[in-house]
């Protein structure tokens, strides 16, 4: 199986700073001590060894926020090493979109050819462990929006990570900024599995998908259901594809975070099983081609 893994992480705990990995915080995934160790490109290749891992997209891993460009510089050095075989193929970095110096940070990120976009995690909830953003309503905040709109100037996309109750707000963000490609992370994170929660997620997915500048990564479902298998995640995979279409969805591993919930191969075999009835072109889109096009790999 030829794949482009559209969402993974690397981290080097011996040489770089990742506060959440080195000073554990309360986190909705629970105990994550198993991933509090260095994970490099060789580790990803080993985990993906049963597939043809043709390309990959690295998502910012909460590297030291005082020096976010340091992560991009390091990833570029990894990519440039012949041993890495051209992986990762692209980097989605972090920048504080509210900061006064955000344009300078974006310009410095863009000095590296690997750079493609920004992820600023917007998840907000009353419980601290479900909260990644510093405050609620950032997608409507004038200071944050000034930074967000600079992404178009630099030709960058935005990786959007929100809870289902924030998807409608994300849809408005996409509609009001059509020149910024917006890529939904982790299937919209359907964390509530009661009928009302699922309906809220489904309505939000449809609202965001109504914007032609929006696409979706189908990943991270193990974080939200520890007992997951292909049948349990099937409705979320198929509903997302139904909303966005087979030309605006991408499969991804979220490794090594999702190593907490299952082997790398098990994730991709589940996607394979769920899409067995799809055409070869549709499957090629989902497993490889859409990531190549959307992230300009």
Percent of residues, the chain, with pLDDT higher than 70: 100
- Say which CATH number the domain at 216 has: 3.20.20.140
pLDDT for 134: 87
pLDDT at 26: 81
Domain count, the chain: 1
The helices-and-strands tally (H runs, E runs) of the chain is 12, 8
What are the φ and ψ backbone dihedral angles of 288, each rounded to 5 degrees? -150, -60
Tens-digit pLDDT profile for residues 86-143? 999 999 999 999 999 999 999 999 999 999 999 999 999 988 888 999 899 999 999 9
Q: What is the mean pLDDT of the chain?
A: 96
Look up the domain containing 174 and give its range.
Answer: 2-294
205-227 mean pLDDT:
96
Mean pLDDT of 54-82: 97
pTM of the model: 0.97
CA separation for the pair 35, 24 (Å, rounded): 11
Structure confidence by residue, pLDDT tens digits, 278-295: 999 999 999 999 999 999
Q: 238 vs 39, 193, 222, 225, CA distance in Å?
A: 31, 16, 16, 17
Q: What is the mean pLDDT of residues 159-184?
A: 98
* pLDDT for residue 230: 97
- What would the pLDDT profile of 19-47 be if each residue is shown by its tens digit? 999 987 788 888 999 999 999 999 999 99
Closest to 24 in 3D by CA, of 16, 32, 13: 32
pLDDT at 276: 97
175: exposed, middle or buried (Cβ count in 10 Å: 0-12, 13-18, 19+) = middle
Dist. CA 32–CA 259, nearest whole Å: 10
Read off the pLDDT of each residue in 249-263 and give the average, rounded to a whole number.
Answer: 97
């Amino acid at each position: 199986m030829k794949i482009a893994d559209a969402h993974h992480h690397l981290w080097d705990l011996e040489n770089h700073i990742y506060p959440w990995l080195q000073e554990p915080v309360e986190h909705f995934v629970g105990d994550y001590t198993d991933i509090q160790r260095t994970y490099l490109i060789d580790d990803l290749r080993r985990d993906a060894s049963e597939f043809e891992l043709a390309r990959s997209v690295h998502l910012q891993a909460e590297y030291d926020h005082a020096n976010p460009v340091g992560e991009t510089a390091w990833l570029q050095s990894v990519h440039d090493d012949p041993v890495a075989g051209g992986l990762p193929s692209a980097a989605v970095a972090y920048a504080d979109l509210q900061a006064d110096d955000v344009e300078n940070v974006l310009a410095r990120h863009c000095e590296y050819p690997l750079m493609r976009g920004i992820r600023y995690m917007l998840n907000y909830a009353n419980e601290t462990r479900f909260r990644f953003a510093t405050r609620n309503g950032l997608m409507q905040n004038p200071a944050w929006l000034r930074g967000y709109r600079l992404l178009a100037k630099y030709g960058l996309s935005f990786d959007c990570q929100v809870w289902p109750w924030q998807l409608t707000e994300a849809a408005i963000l996409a509609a009001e900024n059509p020149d910024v490609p917006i890529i939904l992370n982790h299937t919209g994170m359907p964390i509530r599995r009661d009928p009302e929660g699922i309906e809220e997620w489904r309505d939000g997915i449809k609202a965001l998908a109504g914007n032609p500048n929006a696409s979706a990564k189908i990943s991270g479902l193990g974080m939200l259901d520890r007992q997951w298998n292909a049948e349990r995640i099937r409705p979320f995979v198929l509903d997302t594809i139904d909303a966005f279409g087979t030309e605006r969805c991408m499969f991804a591993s979220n490794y090594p975070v999702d190593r907490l919930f299952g082997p790398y191969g098990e994730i991709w075999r589940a996607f394979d099983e769920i899409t067995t009835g799809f055409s070869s072109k549709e499957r090629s889109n989902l497993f490889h081609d859409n990531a190549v096009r959307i992230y300009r790999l």
